[in-house]
Structure 1
Amino acid sequence: MSGAHTIELAGESVMLLPEKALYWPRERTLVVADIHFGKAAAFRALGVPVPRGTTTQNLEALDRLLAVYPATRIVFLGDFLHARAAHAKATLGAMAEWRARNPGLSLVLVRGNHDLHAGDPAAVLGIEMVDEPFEAGPFAFCHHPDIAADGYVLAGHVHPVFRIATRLESVRLPCFVAGPRRMILPSFGAFTGGHAIEPVAGERVYVATEVQVHPVR
């Protein structure tokens, strides 16, 4: 668990992970936002030369988390699939093989805007489909950060990154943005990009490097 940063949200202890996910220990739940399976395939279908292998990278990243954190459930905060191209045989085959290796793991997908266009994942993946907000304990699991909900909102959609600058250079890092009523998680996917954010009053930013989560503001 080295590199994780533990904080309290809505009275619950949660771990912000350098792998750009959140772990809720009491419920043995991993929370992942914006994995965007099939995004690279969608770009290639449009003639854009982008790298292959992002589906494998995403699945391997999930495997690394499951090897460290004793999760019995993963909640995906929307945009599990990027577009209808994600239903391609090769993409589905890789995901089905991963699912077969994790048959007892509960998977919940809160539908995001890309999921509505792509359609629900194949039934063979055994994913429970829900609409936002999906409430569990004190949390409301959402895709969009501005959804009205009774619980503390955990959301994605924004793909937040934070710019850290020195006098000579700067770097943009994926980040968690925590406010009084919501947290926005960074995008988990291997090919998703990021949107630079500037925290407002009452928000804290935690940047994720490859090995550590750091509070920066």
Structure 2
Amino acid sequence: MSVADTRYCAVELAGETLWLLAEKAVYWPARRMLMIADIHFGKATAFRALGVPVPRGTTTQNLQALDALLARYACDEIVFLGDFLHAKAARAPATLGAMQAWRLHHRQLRLTLVRGNHDLHAGDPPVALDIAMVDEPHRVGPFALCHHPDLICEAYVLAGHVHPVFHLRTARDTLRLPCFLLGATRAILPSFGAFTGGHAQQPQAGEQVFVTADEAVFRVPGHG
């Protein structure tokens, strides 16, 4: 794989070619679709509302990350695989204002949100954001687009929810990196949000692991 190719890994799932992106998203070239899990807009705002001193600017980081993807990949639709808004407290005027300004710059882009557990508590995004709301499983071609990876479906599941990370270990060091987990019946995406954290995963038998680091994504040998 050349240096220019390290931003993505092309994999075949359910007869379709998907790109696992270093930016912690999935691109489906045939559909010109980006899939993003667990962006958690307004999470930092919700923490500050509870008196927890956390950094500002995470909404801007998330929107800039989306813009970078849209500049790099031809895209007609973004599907958010759950947890778009973190909580009701995420509906701060500054947060919603930044999101609305971004939406106005991308009026032709279709946005779809598969409701996740945080969305059920936060409520649907404002109508002005023009996001199509669906419940899981959301069938698109051979895939069931979900938030929860353990949902039983006849189609191949693409989901998020668990914010997977993987520990890469050497004799002297350990790296904790966001990862994609690809199994026989489902794939789990890493969390996309700038302030979401992660949970270490032990891959199941036969499950492939792809980690993201800086501007590269690569498969971890010995899994799958």
For Structure 1 versus Structure 2, the TM-score category normalised by the shorter chain is: over 0.9
Question: Following TM superposition, by how much is the alpha carbon of 1:131 offset from its aligned partner in structure 2, in angstroms?
Answer: 0.2
Show the counterpart of 1:127. Answer: 131
1:138 is the counterpart of 2:142: yes
1:150 & 1:29 partners in 2: Cα distance? 22
Structure 2: unaligned runs, 5 residues or longer: none
Question: Following TM superposition, by how much is the alpha carbon of 1:205 offset from its aligned partner in structure 2, in angstroms?
Answer: 0.3
Question: Following TM superposition, by how much is the alpha carbon of 1:160 offset from its aligned partner in structure 2, in angstroms?
Answer: 0.1
Question: Following TM superposition, by how much is the alpha carbon of 1:200 offset from its aligned partner in structure 2, in angstroms?
Answer: 1.2
Letter of the aligned partner of 2:55 in structure 1? Answer: P
Show the counterpart of 2:64. Answer: 60
Question: Following TM superposition, by how much is the alpha carbon of 1:144 offset from its aligned partner in structure 2, in angstroms?
Answer: 0.2
Show the counterpart of 2:43. Answer: 39
Question: Following TM superposition, by how much is the alpha carbon of 1:209 offset from its aligned partner in structure 2, in angstroms?
Answer: 1.0
1:92 & 1:106 partners in 2: Cα distance? 18
The correspondence of residues 66-215 of structure 1 with structure 2, limited to 5 A, is: 66-215=70-219
1:37 & 1:200 partners in 2: Cα distance? 30
TM-score (norm 1): 0.99
Structure 1: unaligned runs, 5 residues or longer: none
1:143 & 1:97 partners in 2: Cα distance? 26
Runs of 4+ in 1 over 6 A off after TM superposition: none
2:90 & 2:36 partners in 1: Cα distance? 18
2:100 & 2:192 partners in 1: Cα distance? 19
Residues 78-111 of structure 1: CA deviation (Å, up to 9, x unaligned):
0000001121110000000000000000000000
Query: For 2:51, what is the secondary structure of its paired residue?
Result: coil
2:23 & 2:35 partners in 1: Cα distance? 11
Query: For 2:34, what is the secondary structure of its paired residue?
Result: strand
1:36 & 1:9 partners in 2: Cα distance? 27
Letter of the aligned partner of 2:205 in structure 1? Answer: A
1:103 & 1:94 partners in 2: Cα distance? 15
Instruction: Note the aligned Cα RMSD (angstroms).
Output: 0.8
Letter of the aligned partner of 2:126 in structure 1? Answer: A
1:153 & 1:125 partners in 2: Cα distance? 27
